[in-house]
């Protein structure tokens, strides 16, 4: 799988480097029928995700990606082209919405913004950063809206 | 990928068949290091998910599955062994939490309960059913808590 960006050479960001309102935009990823069917076979084996013919009779009238596939691609785009968080991008949870389906040929891109920073009371070396993301297709329509809570570490945690 | 249950022969459930409090339990799925590394390579290419050695230095002290992998396996278990919803299990969104990581060798199983049913005002042939699920490992510890909103259809929608 290839995306249009690579995060490997950016400096890692610590909790103190993050501010509310910080925005980012990832690279892009093109999804095709083979990827959709392959993911469905592994994780969401329903006709509307793995059979173009059966999907014609379904709610969407054609093949669409599993919402979890859209979520997984969103994660890939954030890991490869989002903010390079020190210690990794470790999610503790969040909310997700799929306002419209992802279809074969769609080119996805993620736009994100930090919406809150909550220092931990019990662990002063870390905190929770909430990021709101919008995963858009090539027409600019949102296929996923998410608010993800990520665990982040202070620079001092490195030597703790 | 093999699970311990199969939903293929159950009768489809329509909106009018569902009641708040309805409970279900899926089959099980065993996750191994190969699956974790394979998913990470495709969707969450971070050392803590794809390199057992690098993961030793990470927050979790060893290889753990991407949260999105746990979510995807949860979906698989629900599709293959959860309630067989007419028209498919179509999620419109929800909330997800990962209170602890999924590790190689874990055997996952999903328990679920219907928590609310909201008929659509604009489309009388359908409604939104909220299901709260807990994905547990073989020790009974929750690795994922989710409330998913699913689109469901009335029996009458079939001929609409």
> Comparing C-alpha atoms, which of A99, A113, A92, A103 is closest to residue A69?
A103
Location of structure tokens 């709610």: A59
More confident residue, A71 or A1: A71
Per-residue pLDDT of A14-67, as tens digits, reads 999 999 999 999 999 999 999 999 999 999 999 999 888 989 988 999 999 999
Number of other CB atoms surrounding residue B34 within 10 Å: 9
Task: Give me the pLDDT at residue A10, please.
Answer: 76
Helix (H, G, I), strand (E, B) or coil at B71: helix
Say what the pTM is.
0.94
CATH architecture of B15-159: Roll (3.10)
CA distance B46 to chain A (A): 7
**Using a CB-CB distance cutoff of 8 angstroms, which residues of chain A are in contact with residue B96?**
93-96
pLDDT 10s digit of each residue in chain B, 160 long? 556 666 656 789 999 999 999 999 999 999 999 999 999 999 999 999 988 898 998 899 999 999 999 999 999 999 999 999 999 999 999 999 999 999 999 999 999 999 999 999 999 999 999 999 999 999 999 999 999 999 999 998 764 4
Task: Give me the pLDDT at residue B157, please.
Answer: 75
**Interface residues of chain B, partner chain A, Cβ below 8 Å:** 1, 39, 42-48, 58-59, 66-68, 71-73, 75-76, 79-80, 87-98, 145, 151
What percent of chain A lies above the pLDDT cut of 90? 83
Q: Which of B66, B79, B151 sits opposite A46 (nearest CB)?
A: B79
- CB within 8 A of B24, min separation 6: which ones? B82, B83, B111, B112, B113
pLDDT of A159 strictly over 50: no
CA distance B96 to chain A (A): 5
Task: Give me the pLDDT at residue A156, please.
Answer: 83
The residue of chain B with its CA nearest to that of A35 is B42
């Amino acid at each position: 799988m290839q995306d249009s960006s690579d995060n490997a050479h950016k400096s890692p960001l610590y909790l103190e480097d993050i501010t509310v309102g910080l925005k980012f935009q990832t690279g892009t990823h093109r999804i095709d029928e083979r990827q959709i069917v392959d993911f469905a076979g592994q994780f969401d084996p329903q006709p509307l995700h793995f059979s173009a013919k059966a999907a014609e009779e379904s709610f969407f009238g054609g093949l669409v990606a599993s919402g979890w596939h859209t979520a997984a691609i969103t994660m890939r785009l954030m890991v490869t082209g989002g903010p390079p968080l020190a210690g990794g991008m470790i999610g503790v949870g969040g909310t997700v919405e799929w306002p419209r389906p992802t279809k074969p040929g769609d080119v996805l891109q993620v736009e994100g913004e930090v919406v809150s920073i909550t220092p931990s009371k019990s662990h002063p070396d870390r905190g929770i950063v909430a990021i709101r993301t919008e995963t858009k297709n090539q027409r600019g329509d949102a296929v996923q809206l998410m608010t993800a809570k990520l665990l982040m570490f202070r620079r001092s945690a490195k030597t703790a």
